[in-house]
């Protein structure tokens, strides 16, 4: 209990959070009303009750449906500002936030709508909350590589405001090699590279994200544990895994929190850290993830907890400065 309280109060970085996954049902209904959009659920309580998932795909179907209420610059500002306030309450000093442009451009909502809103919220987070926040453009892997390349091209006017490229959505049937040209392009532009891998997919997709895409950090990556040689490599090379405990339990990657392999990965020397992924859907923000993990794994001690917090700061792409100083 004392350890959990200390961890919750400690400065930390959040490196794996999807801004569209921070849309709380109450805000979804407020935006639906403001924009005259009909939702399939009668109330925010009914929508929240629908958050019972049995797989990544069952979650994604709801997540993309929720995006439909996001229409205006102000909507994206309100979404991101709500997240930054919640993150600050959890003592997040650095946030690297994913956004999914294709879930908006496919509805006719362009970069000129969502980027100004997202960026205005990040500037306010810096000014009023002292939080350093940056955005990582995530490409949807269930769409074609050409669609991803067109999205990167459409982002070029905003290039200086985007720190990296990520890859998310349905992992099954959409392996890293599908996006080799996209990652080569992004690397040539100086973007930092991350990719979701080994969430529902196998250890081999974690290896392919490193070797075929040049990913510097792996989002989730928990299935790397199935390959002992890969675990040794991740530890030796200091590759960070941005693990999301509540997400993994909600999406049945593990049957319960006690079965989560984060402690095993940590003790094998892998640079794991704790994140919220889609906190509005999975039952909590980053401190709730630390709390659930530590409560289910009483063998994790203060040195382990300190290592997780420190990993989060060290694995950040923030330039030298205030964030590096925390680590
Ligand atoms: C996601 Cl949990 C998860 N996995 C893959 N793609 C995603 N997009 C948003 N959340
Ligand atoms: Zn994710």
What is the model's pLDDT at position 50? 94
Say what the alpha-carbon torsion angle 271, 272, 274, 275 is, to the nearest 10 degrees: 90
Task: Output the CA 279–ligand 1 centroid distance in Å.
Answer: 11
Mutational test site, ligand 1, from 53, 278, 279, max ligand atoms within 8 Å of CB: 278
pLDDT band for 324, please (50, 70, 90 cuts): low
Query: Contact at 8 Å (CB) between 157 and 123?
Result: no
pTM: 0.97
Is the per-residue pLDDT at 321 higher than 80? no
- Nearest-CA residue for ligand 1 atom 1 is 169
Average pLDDT over residues 109-120: 98
Is the per-residue pLDDT at 35 higher than 80? yes
β-bridge pairing 162-168 and 92-99: unpaired
Is the per-residue pLDDT at 157 higher than 70? yes
Task: Output the CA 32–ligand 2 centroid distance in Å.
Answer: 25
What is the model's pLDDT at position 142? 98
Cα 218 to Cα 4, 17, 126, 199, 212: the distances in Å are 26, 13, 26, 10, 13
Is residue 199 lining ligand 1, measured as CB closer than 6 Å?
yes
Give the domain 2-317 fold.
TIM Barrel (3.20.20)
Is the per-residue pLDDT at 284 higher than 80? yes
Task: Output the CA 168–ligand 1 centroid distance in Å.
Answer: 6
The answer to whether 196 is a known ligand-binding residue is: yes
Report pLDDT digits (tens) over 263-273.
Answer: 999 999 999 99
pLDDT band for 1, please (50, 70, 90 cuts): confident
Is 199 one of the annotated active-site residues of the chain? yes
Is the per-residue pLDDT at 326 higher than 90? no
The answer to whether 297 is a known ligand-binding residue is: no
What is the model's pLDDT at position 319? 79
Average pLDDT over residues 232-246: 98
Domain ranges of the chain: 2-317
Average pLDDT over residues 191-205: 98
Could you tell me the maximum CA-CA distance found in the chain, to the nearest angstrom? 54
Is residue 219 lining ligand 1, measured as CB closer than 6 Å?
no
Average pLDDT over residues 155-180: 98
In our burial notation (b when 16+ CB lie closer than 10 A, e otherwise), range 13-52 reads bbbbbbbbbbbbbebbbebbeeeeeebebeebeebeeeee
Is residue 16 lining ligand 1, measured as CB closer than 6 Å?
no
């Amino acid at each position: 209990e004392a350890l959990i309280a200390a961890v919750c109060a400690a400065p930390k970085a959040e490196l794996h959070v999807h801004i569209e996954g921070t849309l709380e049902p109450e805000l979804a209904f407020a935006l639906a009303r403001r924009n005259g959009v009909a939702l399939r659920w009668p109330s925010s309580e009914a929508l929240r009750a629908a958050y019972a998932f049995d797989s990544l795909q069952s979650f994604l179907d709801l997540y993309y449906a929720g995006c439909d209420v996001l229409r205006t610059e102000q909507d994206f500002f309100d979404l991101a500002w709500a997240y930054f306030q919640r993150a600050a309450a959890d003592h997040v000093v650095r946030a690297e936030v994913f956004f999914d442009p294709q879930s908006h451009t496919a509805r006719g909502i362009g970069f000129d709508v969502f980027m100004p809103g997202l960026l205005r919220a990040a500037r306010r987070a810096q000014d009023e909350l002292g939080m350093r926040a940056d955005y990582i453009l995530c490409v949807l892997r269930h769409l074609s590589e050409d669609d991803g390349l067109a999205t990167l091209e459409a982002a070029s006017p905003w290039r200086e405001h985007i720190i990296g490229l990520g890859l998310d959505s349905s992992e099954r049937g959409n392996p890293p090699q599908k996006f080799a040209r996209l990652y080569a392009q992004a690397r040539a532009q100086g973007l930092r590279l991350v990719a979701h891998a080994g969430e529902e997919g196998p250890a081999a997709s974690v290896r392919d994200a490193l070797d075929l895409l040049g990913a510097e950090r792996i989002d989730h990556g928990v299935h790397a544990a199935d390959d002992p040689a890969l675990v040794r490599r991740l530890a030796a090379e200091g590759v960070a895994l941005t693990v999301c405990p509540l997400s993994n339990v909600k999406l049945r990657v593990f049957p319960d929190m006690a079965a989560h392999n984060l402690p095993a990965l940590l003790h094998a020397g892998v640079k794991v850290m704790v994140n919220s992924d889609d906190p509005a859907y999975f039952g909590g923000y980053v401190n709730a993830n630390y709390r659930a993990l530590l409560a289910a794994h009483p063998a994790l001690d203060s040195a382990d907890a300190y290592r997780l917090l420190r990993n989060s700061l060290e694995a950040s792409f923030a330039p030298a400065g205030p964030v590096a100083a925390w680590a």
